[in-house]
Amino acid sequence: MVHIAPWKAVLTILVCVLGFAYALPNVMPPETRMWMQENLPSWAPSKTVNLGLDLRGGAHLLYEVDVDVVVRERADNMLQDMRKSLREDRIGYSRIGVIPQGVRITLRNSSDGEDARRILRRTNANLDIDTSSDGLTIEAVMNDQGLREVYDNTISQSIEIVRRRIDELGTTEPIIQRQGEDRILIQAPGADSESLKNIIGTTAKLTFHLLKDPGAPGLSKTFTMAEDPTRTMEVEPRALITGEMLENAAPAFQDGQPVISFRLNNIGGRRFADVTRKNVGKPFAIVLDGQVLSAPVIREPILGGQGQISGGFTVQEASDL
């Protein structure tokens, strides 16, 4: 005769009861599960097993990120920054333009070559710079490390944008991850493929603009406010800073209050320093996907490519922004 200790029998029965209790919500109708979540204590079983694509169905998408567009935008920004720097340093040139992954400059005097190369290195540290035999033509293209940074930053930013948009659908436990050099794998159980494509396919564009002075002549752009779409804001049409110039942004604390700390790349840092020096006391708009997320006031010149945005945020608001 097999003898089972009483405590073992009690433990076995208890495990079976608990297992049945925690599995029970999976066979309950949705209305009953909703009632259980609203009325039972938080520790009581009310959640169901999240079914994957194999059991629940859903969307399985593989996207290729067009990084070449970002590389061209970086080259265009480099070109604009070089034009300004060459004028400031009184370096004459007969031609300047964009080439694949970089810029080409034709100087008037070969004696200015070293100064032009110094400006290029300051603009972007990850450049391969070649000079013609006469010393007049300089070509600067992004090296492997520079291109790798562009690829990595673009993919990580794209994954974050996709994750935020899918989270708005309420999809549980989506899989969003990098695959290979320039692709993003998306698996969203229970989601409709066409709806997901429409949401993901919308272009995300981040820009910083000065606000348009009321009554001032000239063109302007009008954007709605993210927190209240019935309100609008007029801004200068030319963007001061674009998203590819933003290297990092994260919530932080200053004097015990939540703020957003951000860091710009070399081009964005110099451009922002120049703009904030000339516009202290004026607000600027942070625009994402055609909506104004926030419009803080420039309190002082922002130098060195790093700054903070404050505005009485809660911790959650700072994190979201």
pLDDT in tens, 171-230: 667 888 888 888 888 887 767 777 777 777 766 678 889 998 877 777 888 998 887 888
Q: Is the pLDDT of residue 263 over 80?
A: yes
H-helix segments, the chain = 6-23, 30-39, 53-56, 67-88, 113-123, 144-167, 193-200, 266-278, 315-320
Q: Is the pLDDT of residue 252 over 80?
A: yes
Q: How far apart are CA 283 and CA 216, in angstroms?
A: 16
Q: What is the pLDDT of residue 317?
A: 77
Mean pLDDT of the chain: 81
CA geometry: angle 267, 272, 276, nearest 5 deg: 160
Q: What is the pLDDT of residue 58?
A: 66
Q: Is the pLDDT of residue 53 over 60?
A: no
pTM of the model: 0.54
Q: What is the pLDDT of residue 48?
A: 65
Query: In sequence order, what DSSP letters do the residues of 92-133 get, joined into one string?
Result: -EEEEEEETTEEEEEES-GGGHHHHHHHHHHH-SSEEEEE-T
Rounded to a whole number, what is the distance in angstroms from the first to the last CA of the chain? 69
Confidence of residue 135 (pLDDT cuts 50, 70, 90): confident
Instruction: With CA atoms as reference, report the closest residue to 196 among 321, 50, 57, 67.
Output: 57
Residue 147's CB is within 10 A of a number of other CB atoms, namely 16
Q: Percent of the chain at pLDDT above 90? A: 1
Say which residues have a Cβ less than 8 Å from residue 229's Cβ, sequence separation at least 6: 291
Residue 161's CB is within 10 A of a number of other CB atoms, namely 18
Helix 67-88 and helix 266-278, axial crossing angle in degrees, nearest 10: 50
Q: How far apart are CA 311 and CA 168, in angstroms?
A: 25
- For 151-176, the pLDDT digits (tens) are 888 888 788 878 877 776 666 678 88
Secondary-structure breakdown of the chain: helix, strand, coil percentages, each rounded to the nearest 5: 40, 30, 30
